[in-house]
Amino acid sequence: MTSPAKSPSAQAALTRLGPGLAFKGDLSGSGDAVIEGRFEGTIALPGASLTIAREARVEADIVAADVEIAGTLSGDVEASGRIAVVAQAKIDGNLTAARVAIQDGAQFKGSIKINRPAVG
């Protein structure tokens, strides 16, 4: 029995820059993204999630809904939701989000600003 085909929107929901790839430029869109290779430029995914994998090397300013960082990042990150920094991550930049979590063992140089959603 064959598995059902995914809809075009489900297939386009995740963009991946694999470990053997390098990209220089601007990335923007509405789908989630995973970076495993090298990226230099800007990333704008305001309604989506971004994952920077352990082997990734990123030099970029980032705007996204949620960001998880496990690799090396040089640049500022602004998230409307959560920024999660895992133990082996190395970050040189400023973090702005509603929630920020940094695990023991992560290297971080910069500032953190917590933006609480307006209550009304």
Q: Which residues contact 48 (CB under 8 A, 6 or more apart)?
A: 29, 30, 31, 32, 33, 64, 65
Residue 119 lies in a domain: no
Domain range enclosing 107: 15-111
What does the pLDDT look like over 16-31, one tens digit per residue? 999 999 999 999 999 9
Residue 6 lies in a domain: no
Q: What's the pTM?
A: 0.86
Mean confidence (pLDDT) of the chain: 90
Residue 4 lies in a domain: no
Residue 20 lies in a domain: yes
The C-alpha atoms of residue 62 and residue 36 are separated, in whole angstroms, by: 16
Residue 45 lies in a domain: yes
Residue 116 lies in a domain: no
What's the structural domain count of the chain? 1
Q: What is the pLDDT of residue 51?
A: 98
Name the residue with tokens 């220089």: 24
Q: Which residues contact 80 (CB under 8 A, 6 or more apart)?
A: 46, 64, 65, 97, 98
pLDDT at residue 38 tops 80: yes
The C-alpha atoms of residue 102 and residue 13 are separated, in whole angstroms, by: 27
Residue 120 lies in a domain: no
